[in-house]
Amino acid sequence: SQQGEEDPQALSIQEGENATMNCSYKTSINNLQWYRQNSGRGLVHLILIRSNEREKHSGRLRVTLDTSKKSSSLLITASRAADTASYFCASGYSSASKIIFGSGTRLSIRP
Amino acid sequence: EPEVTQTPSHQVTQMGQEVILRCVPISNHLYFYWYRQILGQKVEFLVSFYNNEISEKSEIFDDQFSVERPDGSNFTLKIRSTKLEDSAMYFCASGPGTGSAQPQHFGDGTRLSIL
């Protein structure tokens, strides 16, 4: 399998706290993407980080990539109730058009 | 904002029957994809389609599956003889450029239930 796992599988935090989700992968990648999935909906692209980048920001999102450890993390700062969703990382490979998804983290924000 | 649309939202089919899932990708996108998600599990790649032909497919995408872009706007997934284990959410996605280094835009999926 080209893709590893995400941890934690589930995360419950208080509104206003920061949420950190981790993703590991097994083979060298061209890029790593993060997607959000609200219950019963499709996936929404959040952010893409290329293999030659180490950190990327988008609004309250911060993504890091450590290619030596084959891992990435997604940090959501100042969480809101609307951030409640499942979050998936997906690996992209230069020889392929497809992306391979991880198992996801279910994030719940308590009011 | 343009979006990917999928129909129907829910399809119930008897085992052994053929089913066609329909998708309208974003109009200026060049790459099209099908994924499936069995309840509570990860999203699995099925097939990618570019320039009117399959560019990649997974081991899940066997002879029972086929894809077609019949009229330049629709993108369909056909399952010839459905099995119980085909029950899942099926997501269509499209992307603006070549390769994996482009964000993919997903529809809201078709829930396929095989009885």
Task: Give the chain B residue whose CA is nearest to the CA of A92.
Answer: B100
- Predicted confidence (pLDDT) per residue in B62-102, tens digit: 999 999 998 878 999 999 999 999 999 999 999 987 667 88
CATH number at residue A27: 2.60.40.10
- Does residue A43 form part of some domain? yes
The residue-averaged pLDDT of A72-91 equals 96
A27: pLDDT strictly greater than 50: yes
- Does residue B106 form part of some domain? no
Q: What's the rounded Cα separation, in Å, for the pair A47 and A55?
A: 11
- Other CB atoms within 10 A of residue A42 CB: 23
CB-nearest to A101 from B42, B99, B103 is: B42
Note whether B100 contacts A93, CB cutoff 8 Å: yes
pLDDT number for residue A3? 61
More confident residue, A39 or B111: B111
- Does residue B48 form part of some domain? yes
Split into its structural domains, chain B has a count of 1
The residue-averaged pLDDT of A3-26 equals 90
Q: What's the rounded Cα separation, in Å, for the pair A34 and A92?
A: 11
- Predicted confidence (pLDDT) per residue in A92-106, tens digit: 987 777 899 999 999
Q: What's the rounded Cα separation, in Å, for the pair A75 and A15?
A: 14
Split into its structural domains, chain A has a count of 1
A1: pLDDT strictly greater than 60: no
Q: For testing the chain A interface, which of B48, B92, B104 should be mutated: the one with the most A CBs within 10 Å?
A: B104
Note whether B104 contacts A45, CB cutoff 8 Å: yes
Mean pLDDT over the full length of chain A:
92
Q: Which of residues 62-81 of A touch B (CB under 8 A)?
A: none
SS (HEC) of chain A: CCEEEEECCEEEEECCCCEEEEEEECCCCCEEEEEEECCCCCEEEEEEEECCCCEEEECCEEEEEECCCCEEEEEECCCCHHHCEEEEEEEECCCCCCEEECCCEEEEEEC
Chain A hits for B42, CB-CB cut-off 8 Å, are 88, 101-104
Share of chain A above pLDDT 90, in %: 77
CATH number at residue B80: 2.60.40.10
Find all residues with CB under 8 Å of A52, minimum gap 6, and list them.
none
- Does residue A52 form part of some domain? yes
- Does residue B114 form part of some domain? no
- Does residue B70 form part of some domain? yes
